[in-house]
Amino acid sequence: MNKALREGLEIWGVSRTGRNSISAYVSVESFYALHKLNRGLHCRIHILKKHGLPIALSRLRYRKILAFGWIAVLAALLIASRFIWFLRIEGCDQVREEEIVATLAEMGVRPGIPRGDITTRGLGRAVMATDSRIAWAGAELYGVILQVSIREAGDTPKVLEQGKPGSLYAAKDGVIRRITPLSGKALFNAGDAVLKGQMLITGDLGNDIAVEARGDVIARVLYRFSYTAAYEQVLPARSGNSFSYVEASLLGYSLPAPEIPFEDYEVERGAAHTLPALLPIEIVRVTCRELTQQRQILSEAELTPLAKAGAQKLMEQGVEHSARILSVQAEQQTDETGLTVILNVIAEENIAKSGALHAKDE
């Protein structure tokens, strides 16, 4: 065994099975090399078990029909993976799945169609155009599965009073996830990146026809909030003054506490003692320690929670309450002024805002 290891043969899982015997795993190449090393050592080498891809392939030499069968199966799987075999419909409530399947069949989309014949973006638009109850539709391919997701418009759409002709613009930069025009014409599609101020849904329908554009534009928006906590902070700290009193309670009722002579203080409660009397009177010594605002130099470890709290507050103020926060990633930097925490936030929200329809929008 030592000789084999010195020669660099592949041997692993070595274990002693008896006084003069051991077992180990070896590769096919190393097994044949062991016989050459065994000359003059008088060791007997036995194969206990064979396994692995080379062994399986060598066995197939004598089972040509089985080998041909495996090749045929692999070829069939490869060919079948180039077609769509299953339809998955999501988001149906009022619209039945059978209706969507029938609509897809009319478009020529059914199990067995080649994957290359399907354009997911165009298929979603086509499905949405077939039924007024569908506000949005999208299609995605997952292997041999075609998934069609729909968003229904609702039972009774809310009818708004038409105002002055206008369009909807992007209130923020973002990447559109879903655009649903209730009136007007959408100028972007899901997946498009838009900048603040760009027109999203126009109220100009052409032929001198203009309406008040209405709808939702749900987009992913990136926020960046930064808060720096300086090393020197003014924080409440103990001044050294204290005020103590004894609190007595009977059956859960306590005597009124005296007036504390400090505006801000910490309370420390000592151990409770019960007087040996007819009724269980509990005595506790209470100490109030005065806190005053003092300048302190804090370490990075002490500044971290302050900076995080400040960045968190900025995030709560900066992100719309109706937005759905998808992810928050924190960065931390230090310099001579203090410690800075940066929050990179990705939120999903409606970025559409209304604006007057000007001549430049036509």
State residue 66's pLDDT score.
Answer: 67
Cα–Cα dist 319/223, whole Å: 8
pTM of the predicted model as reported, rounded to 2 decimal places: 0.43
pLDDT for 171 beyond 60: yes
pLDDT, one tens digit per residue, over 292-342 is 988 888 888 888 999 999 999 999 999 988 889 999 999 999 888 899 999
If you average pLDDT over residues 69-87, what whole number do you get?
83
DSSP H/E element including 250: strand 232-250
Per-residue pLDDT, 199: 92
Lowest mean pLDDT among 13-17, 63-67, 118-122, 345-349: 63-67
- Cβ-based neighbour number of residue 125 at 10 Å: 14
Query: How far, in Å, CA of 329 to CA of 346, rounded?
Result: 9
Determine the residue type at 248. Answer: A
Contact (Cβ atoms closer than 8 angstroms) between residue 347 and residue 326: yes
pLDDT value for 57: 65
Q: Mean pLDDT in the chain?
A: 83
- Which two tokens mark 297? 């130099």
One-letter amino acid for residue 112 of the chain: G
Residue 208: Cβ within 10 Å count: 7
pLDDT score, position 91: 82
pLDDT of residue 56: 65
Torsion of CA 200, 201, 203, 208, to 10 degrees: 80
Amino acid at 339: L
Residue 36, both tokens: 């050459």
Q: Where in the chain is the domain with CATH 3.10.20.310?
A: 86-152
Q: Is residue 301 within 8 Å of 220, Cβ to Cβ?
A: no
> Which is more confident, 296 or 174?
174
Type of residue numbered 264 = D
CB distance 225 to 315 below 8 Å: yes
Is CATH 3.10.20.310 what the domain over 86-152 is classified as, yes or no? Answer: yes
Q: What is the largest CA-CA distance in the chain?
A: 103
Q: How many CB atoms are located within 10 Å of the residue 72 CB?
A: 10
The stretches of the chain forming alpha helices (DSSP H) are 2-6, 28-37, 53-59, 64-80, 97-106, 120-129, 300-318
Helix 120-129 to helix 97-106 angle (10° resolution) is: 110
* Residue-level pLDDT at 351: 93
Least confident of 20-34, 63-77, 288-302: 63-77
User: Does position 173 have pLDDT exceeding 90, yes or no?
Assistant: yes
How many angstroms separate the CA atoms of 47 and 24, rounded? 10
Query: For residue 48, is pLDDT > 50?
Result: yes
Structure tokens at 280: 């269980």
Pairing of strands 338-350, 265-269: unpaired
